[in-house]
Amino acid sequence: MRRIVCFFLTTLFASHLFAQNTPLEIGQPAPEISLPQPDGTPFSLSSLQGKLVLIDFWATWCAPCVEEQPELKVLYDKYQKANPGKFEIVGVSLDKSKENWVKAIDRFKIDWIQVSDLMFWKSPVAKDYRIEELPFNMLMDEQGTIIAINLHGKELADFISNYVR
């Protein structure tokens, strides 16, 4: 009996570890994100159901992330005008410093949703999304299903353009 219990616990523990390291895939539901916005207002990803959502993981200390913000601004402005209420970006910051994060939001004139728990790589959301490097993003369809992972630049713009047609 002791061997059976030991085997069961070992199997359960191993499957939990394996599940934590399995990358998210296209076709899976996007994990919930419940984090505060810069002003402390709570945000939940599920509140955006019915919209195409780009979830953008970034940080102010990540040079490629910072370089990408103006491109995201162009995309956001374009699809907010063309499809009001149908497209949204959620920026998930892996910063530690609220001051740096808020300054970057102001500097880049980011007017899409921004959230962070300021826990750096230890953020539960970073673990839920299996973030190993930045920048990292994924697109979620209107039903909350992942439809694209880690597209950037022209590839991201083309994907969104084809999707909203």
pLDDT of amino acid 2: 56
Give the whole-number percent of the chain exceeding pLDDT 70: 87
The pLDDT tens digits of the residues spanning 63-87 come to: 999 999 999 999 999 998 888 889 9
The model's confidence at residue 19, banded by pLDDT at 50, 70 and 90, is very low
Tell me, what amino acid is at 20?
A: Q
H-helix or E-strand spanning residue 19 = helix 2-21
Q: Which residues have a Cβ under 8 Å from the Cβ of 67 and sit 6 or more positions away?
A: none
Question: Worst-scoring range by mean pLDDT, 59-63, 82-86, 141-145?
Answer: 82-86
Would you kindly state where each structural domain of the chain is located, as residue ranges? 58-164
- E strand residue ranges, the chain: 34-36, 42-44, 52-58, 87-93, 113-115, 136-140, 146-149
The pLDDT tens digits of the residues spanning 22-31 come to: 789 999 999 9
List the one residue out of 55, 70, 53, 77 whose CA is nearest residue 134.
55
Tell which wins on pLDDT, 21 or 82: 82
Cα separation, 64 vs 74, whole angstroms:
16
Name the pTM for this structure.
0.86
The pLDDT tens digits of the residues spanning 99-133 come to: 999 999 999 999 999 999 999 999 999 999 999 99
CATH code, residues 58-164:
3.40.30.10
pLDDT of amino acid 23: 82
